[in-house]
């Protein structure tokens, strides 16, 4: 077997080629070095501004949602029954009994009034009579002599509980009258707020009624 000549020019070219390849690879490695990602923090003022913006937007949405109820998109939701369920039930007699505390100073808690001064409500033909009259008495007041249960009372001035007086709402007037018409053995029906509202619209604000004016009401 023949031995290779170390001076063979073909070997020199091979060695030179290997070194060139290594240099070329080194150069390529430097040119295409791995890119390092640099993460920077969000500025604090930008973070704070964004938080405030979200907070203000949430408040604006709640205040200007136009009464939107998310349940409205629920096929099982019936707004009529929902309103009825949400509205608390009021006992007009119980509410009227509370309001009667204002009237008890004159007519007494027993409804018997004061003989010769304040007429009784218990057994009164006025309290149990035509609602068109009794509502007018409470709305505008009563003055002058009035006959109750066969006795005449010189009523100087029963105050108005409607316009120009205590300013009670239709509900309050209906409640207290409903209580009076069923307390102390009275057996008249309750009076609805709608009835009070209709009469209020007719008479408006006026002076106290007299007995003669009330009796003239059909």
CB 127 within 8 A of CB 121: yes
CB 185 within 8 A of CB 124: no
- Indicate whether 9 pLDDT > 60: no
Q: Is 63 part of a structural domain of the chain?
A: no
Is the model's pTM score more than 0.75?
no
User: What is the domain extent for residue 188?
Assistant: 92-215
In SS3 terms, 82-121 reads as HHHHHCCCCCHHHHHHHHHHHCHHHHCCCCCCECCCECCC
pLDDT tens digits for 81-128?
655 556 678 899 999 999 999 999 999 999 999 998 899 999 999 999
pLDDT tens digits for 129-150?
999 999 999 999 999 999 999 9
Range 28-54 average pLDDT: 67
Q: Tell me which H or E stretch contains 156.
A: strand 151-158
pLDDT tens digits for 150-169?
999 987 789 999 999 999 99
Instruction: Return the pLDDT at 83.
Output: 57
Q: Is 71 part of a structural domain of the chain?
A: no
- Lowest average pLDDT, out of 57-66, 116-125, 192-201, goes to 57-66
Q: Is 35 part of a structural domain of the chain?
A: no
Q: Is 30 part of a structural domain of the chain?
A: no
Q: Is 20 part of a structural domain of the chain?
A: no
Query: What gap in Å lies between CA 60 and CA 55, rounded to an integer?
Result: 9
CB 138 within 8 A of CB 171: no
Question: Rounded to the nearest 10 degrees, what angle do helices 170-180 and 193-203 cross at?
Answer: 120
Q: Is 49 part of a structural domain of the chain?
A: no
Question: Which CATH number goes with the domain that contains 138?
Answer: 1.10.760.10
Q: Is 9 part of a structural domain of the chain?
A: no
Query: What gap in Å lies between CA 34 and CA 162, rounded to an integer?
Result: 89
- Residue where the block lists tokens 């009796």: 215
Q: Is 141 part of a structural domain of the chain?
A: yes
Range 165-174 average pLDDT: 97
Q: How many domains does the chain have?
A: 1
Among 180, 179, 204, 175, which residue's Cα sits nearest to residue 192?
175
- Indicate whether 54 pLDDT > 90: no
């Amino acid at each position: 077997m023949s031995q290779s000549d170390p001076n063979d020019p073909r070997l020199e070219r091979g060695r030179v080629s290997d070194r060139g390849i290594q240099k070329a690879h080194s150069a390529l490695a430097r040119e295409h070095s791995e890119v390092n990602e640099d993460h920077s923090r969000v500025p604090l003022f930008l973070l704070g501004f964004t938080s405030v913006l979200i907070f203000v937007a949430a408040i604006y949405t709640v205040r200007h949602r136009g009464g939107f109820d998310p349940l409205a998109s629920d096929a099982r939701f019936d707004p009529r029954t929902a309103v009825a369920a949400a509205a608390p039930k009021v006992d007009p007699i119980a509410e009227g009994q509370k309001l009667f505390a204002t009237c008890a100073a004159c007519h007494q808690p027993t409804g018997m009034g004061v003989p010769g001064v304040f007429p009784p409500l218990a057994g009164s033909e006025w309290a149990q009579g035509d609602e068109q009259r009794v509502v007018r008495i409470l709305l505008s007041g009563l003055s002058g002599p009035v006959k109750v249960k066969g006795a005449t009372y010189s009523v100087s001035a029963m105050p108005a509980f409607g316009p120009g007086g205590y300013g009670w709402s239709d509900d309050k007037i209906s409640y207290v009258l409903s209580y009076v018409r069923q307390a102390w053995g009275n057996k008249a029906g309750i009076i609805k707020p709608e009835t009070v509202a209709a009469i209020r619209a007719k008479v408006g604000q006026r002076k106290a009624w007299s007995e003669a004016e009330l009796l003239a009401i059909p």
